[in-house]
Structure 1
């Protein structure tokens, strides 16, 4: 499974699988239902305010399913879908595709607009992030971060050195946080001006998590002095200063999650799941 789970207010768990199915599980882990699409599901589901589940599939389609697993509607994007959809406060569903097209749908499946943001040379995997006033942000394989209005107008272009494959984290003051394959992590103001950047030892595919006091956590894929693959979880202050880092024995491509007690959870390609619980980054 590449898909990450989504959990409903009732505790039901929804997750996609490479076997082409979206699974709905009860809180005790028993199967509630499954829905089969036409190809593997790499995208992660998102749950709407009415309980509707939205999921993209490699069969090129975005699906909308009821909480009971009933098919509501589908839309053929004519591209494999690895990015995950997101929802704006007004219920608009935003979806990026592997070929660099961004779609906006109404809750009933009607297409509002679609815009190209990538070059369709390499696949784009960044998932959109809904912003204030109904806007949306997304990264691209062409090395740019794009900001769109609710109506689909491009209002922000930020160039980095290489592809942006992570999703953007949005701070409470509108600051955009994201990493790039150019090995840099960026904090950019809502006006598009760079606040700061931090140079890591490797490319960044991990999407950032924002903690208390404006701290930022993300993983990187690096090589050690002997050329061996290692991962590193970084903790930066809101001013872009290194607070601590934690090394793993293979790349970190997953995105960290922060628990209610402040612990940071993440997985690495060394087959371990980690919980970092102290300010010094000890597990």
Structure 2
């Protein structure tokens, strides 16, 4: 007890993190779970878990199954020839879903794609509403948005056939655009500008108008699977586009496709960056993982604040939240090393030398006594670490009476992690 009080007095974190429950899907998982309500504007929260065997689960916040939908029951809509060329392990894999009210009836629909090329729209009671057949596999989460301003929801997604598809809320094709390369990246839509952006396997980010016209394109050095993120980096009401590439670089563009800055890591960037103002300067900080094993924190101008090294790839997106509800934000990241890391969002300042105490090695030539370099810098600081049962492929946040982090591992397990005192 005395030790805990002392920790609080000196600003150290107290308590621990632990798993509250685990759900075993009994099949591999490639995509992150999603938390959403099954009623428009509802407070009820459910966890949607996509699996490699084609089953989408809806879980209650307790980890119990509400319902499941088996996409393999639509085998008759896919030819044997098509499936013959799919890898057995992922032949029926389904994507993370988009969840929203498609038909304005107050109930949310659940829309997700599959390796078979089928896009499914499922009602809140798990019955099939409609399905749409794309030209090839759908590997990224679809987007539900009113892309053309008609007051009705549309569904936007890309496929491995290189096409961007836009469907109406009844599953009918409105338009499609040939991107010229397979798409495994979730699209992003900015309603203020009416702009749709998506990345391709050729390393090109393309911008599309609400009517399907190509506006501009920006080329990187390698494949893009990381979802683009719209964010006002300068807090001046002007949107920027953040996205990572397999060329190891995180890019910031303006909405016309002009580069603002780029930050080079030492590994591929597979998933979206996240942003949050963690130091209260009214500008967002940028957080992302890389296959150089690091979690990075950048300022809004693209300069590194800190990094934290794990023992393997950080291929999924980090999340920012206050897991212990002490008023300070944490960055939560999962690694292929099987560990969940909870880090100080602002990092920790560490001295490289002690001004006025540490000696300075004198070199030949003229010099003064005034030090022109900073005496130290910020470093990533670990608060807690938790070993999981497999490679972490996705994280998401579930907020209720307490903050929960949902961990998704490649071997098919979803675990809820909470902070306890």
Equivalent of 2:262, from 122, 143, 157?
157
What's the offset of the Cα at 1:2? 4.5
What is the aligned counterpart of 1:205 among 294, 297, 315?
A: 315
1:146 deviates by: 0.5
Q: Any conservation in 1 of the 2:276–2:286 contact (CA below 8 Å)? A: yes
When residues 150 and 279 of structure 1 are mapped into structure 2, their CA distance, relative to the original with a 3 A threshold, is: farther
TM-score for the superposition, normalised by structure 2: 0.62
Q: 2:117: which partner in 1? A: 20
Name the counterpart of 1:61. Answer: 163
* Contact 1:217-1:234 at 8 Å conserved across structures: yes
The answer on 1:105 being equivalent to 2:208 is yes
Is structure 2 residue 97 aligned with structure 1 residue 5? yes
Say whether the 8 Å CA contact 1:162–1:180 is kept in structure 2: yes
- Give the 5 Å matches for 1:215-254: 215-222=330-337, 231-240=338-347, 241-254=381-394
Over 3 Å counting, the alpha-carbon distance change for 1:93 and 1:210 in structure 2 is: same
Equivalent in the alignment of 1:190: 300
The 3-state SS of whatever aligns with 2:227 is coil
Please state if 1:144 is matched with 2:284.
no
- Determine whether 1:276 maps to 2:417: yes
CA drift at 1:26: 0.5
- Partner Cα distance (1:98, 1:244) in 2: 36
Cα distance, 1:54 vs structure 2: 0.5
Distance 2:313 2:94 in 1: 20
- State the partner residue of 2:142: 45
Secondary structure of 1:15's aligned partner: strand
Task: Name the structure 2 match of 1:167.
Answer: 272
* Deviation of 1:181 (Å): 0.8
- Paired position in structure 2 for 1:177: 287
Query: What displacement does 1:265 show?
Result: 0.9
- Structure 2 stretches of 5 or more lacking a match? 1-92, 102-106, 147-151, 233-237, 278-282, 323-327, 348-380
Residue number among 48, 52, 73 corresponding to 2:175 in the alignment: 73
1:2–1:126 CA distance, 2 compared to 1 (3 A): farther
For 2:411 and 2:419, locate their aligned partners in 1 and report how far apart those are by CA, in whole Å. Answer: 22
Three-state SS of the structure 2 residue aligned to 1:29 is coil
Q: How many residues align?
A: 269
Secondary structure of the corresponding residue to residue 255 of structure 1: strand
Distance 2:225 2:167 in 1: 23
Quote the Cα distance in structure 2 between the aligned partners of 1:265 and 1:249: 13
Answer with 1 or 2: which has the greater Rg: 2
Instruction: Give me the whole-angstrom Cα distance separating, in 2, the residues matched to 1:279 and 1:180.
Output: 30
Q: Which residues of structure 1 form unaligned runs of 5+?
A: 223-230
Give the secondary-structure state (helix, strand or coil) at the position aligned to 1:102: strand
Work out whether residues 209 and 258 of structure 1, in 8 Å CA contact, stay in contact via their aligned partners in 2: no
In structure 1, C-alpha distance between the alignment counterparts of 2:255 and 2:124, rounded to whole Å: 36
Q: Which has the higher contact order (CA 8 A, sep 6+)?
A: 2
**Equivalent residues of 2:289, 2:296 under 8 A apart:** yes
Cα 1:193/1:148, change in 2 over 3 Å: same
Cα deviation, residue 243, structure 1 = 2.0
The aligned counterpart of 1:32 is 129
Find the aligned partners of 1:94 and 1:257 in 2 and give their Cα distance. Answer: 25
CA contact (8 A) 1:95 1:104 kept: yes
In the aligned structure 2, how far is the partner of 1:20 from the partner of 1:134? 33
Deviation of 1:267 after TM superposition, in Å, equals 1.1
